[in-house]
Amino acid sequence: MLAAEALTEMDRWEMPSYEPRLPVTEKSNPRTRELDRARPEQLVRSLRDCDSEIFQHLWGGGAGYQGLYSDSIVQTIVHVAKKVEDILKNPEGSLIVLSGCGTSGRLAYLLATSFNRLLTGLKKERVLAYIIAGGDKALLTSQEAPEDDPQLGALNLEQVCTGKSRVLFIGISCGLSAPFVAGQLDFCMNHLDVFTPVLLGFNPVDMARNEPVPGWALTFRAVAERMLEMQKTHRAFIINPAVGPEPISGSSRMKAGSTTKILLETLLWSALTSTVTHRDVLKLLKNYEHIHRVTYSQSEQIAALVKQAGASLQKGGHVYYVGWGTLGVIGIIDASECVPTFGAEAGDICGFISEGYTAMGNTEGDMTSLGPEFCIGHKDFVSAILPNVRESDSVIFLFTLADDLDAVGDLALCVKQKTSNLHAVAHAFGAYSVPKEYEGMPQHLAPSEDRINRVFASILTITWPRAPEEESSFLMTLQVELATKWVLNAVSTGAHILKDIISDCSGGCAAELCHGALIRAVYSTDQPTEEMSTASLTEHAQTANTCSKVVPTALMMLRWKCSVREARARLQGHMIIRDAVESCLTA
């Protein structure tokens, strides 16, 4: 594995010569080059190193990338936070809209609903709204077509803002690429009397997507360039630090998603607490570096979870996240991303939240009638999943010690009767970790905690300094969410990598051969074009999503040295894919 100091000049992605045709968010990351061969401990260490790139001042290397802490980025955050502050102080007729596609839209939802809840608690007006391309369905499942529709984006924005006289619009597109968001930003720039557009993403403007959008005269880059021009007179803003390539190329759910959360929270929190100076903002941002350190100080235990989850997937089992409060949301988000990212089945990794849609607080409310993927409450877990849970499945509980530990313990006991692979990610808050009624009692005697300690096969405990006031305990919750996101991103990514057995079980075929077979299976051809072979991982994943049994087909091709067609025919000869793979392995 490449340690930071072992990187050579050629490995520095920040050099202009490194994969020059790709934007930062699509480049490969040298730190995770060996990820597919790494053992869980190495894998988590590389993810840690890769995530540490989020916290940068200025990038060297000559390309002039701005980091999260760079003066110009912090200054733009200050400008936008002042606009937020103004709306919070004079909310009448005003709205702050957070919008995005996929992960970006899910984070828009999470932040808008959490801050609205806090505002209600503080007896202030709820001034935030969110938009996700494809509507609330997209919170739980991938909806790709709406992401490409700029007109739909503008229409959704107009609908949400009906009757408003002042709107701060924050459009999130990590890759500066989603036409849905570009359409909204363009709409804002054409209605500056009401709208102030803000673009949040992680590429420089000259790397914004420039591909023509069918049925639209503009490209994302044209929109971003116009915003850059308007930024000079503070009529539009772009917050776009470079945080380095993703651990898996193009998987912006990871670093870019985490930084989106950091940036939105910093904007909203500094505005809410009227701490909108360069120094305060920088301090808030730097606090997240501490969260990163604390989280990855548990690398060994994270690796153990990765191993466990990977073993479940390898055996054809499942991984279930069972979360309380917004940690349930973090689990649901992580699980929902596995389908488009890894071509996983919807049931492979699933998330559940206490109180279901009541806790979600999403605009469209209860969506359980839409199908099994939309059944996300603990009650659904108990009625539909638990009866079928087996020893090969892993169940991971996500909670803080301030949650209802009796409920945690009760559910855990039920799960334990089905599988011993029951684990927990638990957050403790310093002296406040013990529930009130047990205060003063030695921790090991507190009944709920004791039960919890005994019921789980492992508990990954992250301990945070206590948070006495209500407001700062909210900030703590946000940070606990990020820590959980990091842990779960590692678990789901690592587990899928461990599951990706192709290189091992194809009889030790060279990586290039495996890669070639996969490309042929994805594009259903024995003679892939240059364009197919060099497409980005995201494009491969999108195409792979449209066909079935990609990995088994590739495996058959390698084992039998046969064409795509023959491989598919061999697969069809078996009722169960695993049988086909097994017969292939024993042949």
Cβ proximity to ligand F1X: between 178 and 335 the closer is 178
CB under 6 A: which stretch of 102-110, 359-367, 377-385, 479-487 binds ligand F1X?
102-110
Neighbours of 430 (CB within 10 A): 11
Q: Are 156 and 131 in contact (CB under 8 A)?
A: yes
Q: How far is the CB of 153 from ligand F1X (least distance, A)?
A: 11
Please identify which residue in 23, 30, 102, 317 interacts with ligand F1X, judged by CB under 6 A. 102
Q: How far is the CB of 312 from ligand F1X (least distance, A)?
A: 24
Determine if 173 is a binding residue for ligand F1X (CB under 6 A).
yes
**CA–CA separation, 209 and 26 (whole Å):** 11
| Residues linked to residue 169 through DSSP beta bridges, in sequence order | 97, 197
Taking CB under 6 A as the criterion, which residues in 548-567 touch ligand F1X? none
Determine if 104 is a binding residue for ligand F1X (CB under 6 A).
yes
Name every residue whose Cβ is closer than 8 Å to that of residue 276 and which is 6 or more positions away in sequence.
78, 81, 82, 85, 270
Q: How far is the CB of 200 from ligand F1X (least distance, A)?
A: 9
Work out the angle at residue 5's Cα, subtended by the Cα atoms of residues 3 and 6, and round it to the nearest 5 degrees: 65
**CA–CA separation, 244 and 56 (whole Å):** 10
Binding mask 204-243 for ligand F1X (x = CB under 6 A): ----------------------------------------
Name every residue whose Cβ is closer than 8 Å to that of residue 172 and which is 6 or more positions away in sequence.
98, 99, 100, 104, 105, 107, 108, 181, 200, 201, 260, 264
**CA–CA separation, 345 and 81 (whole Å):** 40
CB under 6 A: which stretch of 248-256, 386-394, 450-458, 498-506 binds ligand F1X?
248-256
Q: How far is the CB of 145 from ligand F1X (least distance, A)?
A: 11
Q: Are 66 and 240 in contact (CB under 8 A)?
A: yes
Please identify which residue in 44, 63, 101, 167 interacts with ligand F1X, judged by CB under 6 A. 101
CB under 6 A: which stretch of 167-175, 384-392, 478-486, 561-569 binds ligand F1X?
167-175
Please identify which residue in 63, 80, 170, 178 interacts with ligand F1X, judged by CB under 6 A. 178
Please identify which residue in 46, 184, 231, 251 interacts with ligand F1X, judged by CB under 6 A. 251
Please identify which residue in 28, 29, 99, 103 interacts with ligand F1X, judged by CB under 6 A. 103
Please identify which residue in 54, 98, 139, 174 interacts with ligand F1X, judged by CB under 6 A. 174
Amino acid letter at 4?
A
Please identify which residue in 40, 100, 134, 310 interacts with ligand F1X, judged by CB under 6 A. 100
**CA–CA separation, 49 and 547 (whole Å):** 34
Q: Are 324 and 408 in contact (CB under 8 A)?
A: yes
Work out the angle at residue 70's Cα, subtended by the Cα atoms of residues 64 and 75, and round it to the nearest 5 degrees: 120
Q: How far is the CB of 146 from ligand F1X (least distance, A)?
A: 10
Binding mask 121-160 for ligand F1X (x = CB under 6 A): --------------------------x-------------
**CA–CA separation, 81 and 40 (whole Å):** 40
CB under 6 A: which stretch of 94-102, 265-273, 345-353, 571-579 binds ligand F1X?
94-102
Q: Which residue is nearest to ligand F1X (CB)?
A: 102
Q: Which of 348, 353, 244 is nearest to 26 (CA)?
A: 244
Strands (E), 455-550: 458-464
Q: Are 485 and 295 in contact (CB under 8 A)?
A: no
Determine if 362 is a binding residue for ligand F1X (CB under 6 A).
no
Q: How far is the CB of 451 from ligand F1X (least distance, A)?
A: 38
Cβ proximity to ligand F1X: between 148 and 380 the closer is 148
Binding-residue total with ligand F1X (CB under 6 A):
16
- SS3 of residue 468 by DSSP: coil
Q: Are 23 and 176 in contact (CB under 8 A)?
A: yes
Cβ proximity to ligand F1X: between 127 and 224 the closer is 224
**CA–CA separation, 139 and 99 (whole Å):** 12
Position of tokens 């776009």? 240
Which H or E element spans position 46? helix 40-52
Taking CB under 6 A as the criterion, which residues in 498-527 touch ligand F1X? none
Please identify which residue in 177, 231, 362, 484 interacts with ligand F1X, judged by CB under 6 A. 177
Q: How far is the CB of 106 from ligand F1X (least distance, A)?
A: 8
Interacting residue ranges for ligand F1X, rule: CB under 6 A: 100-104, 147, 172-175, 177-178, 250-253
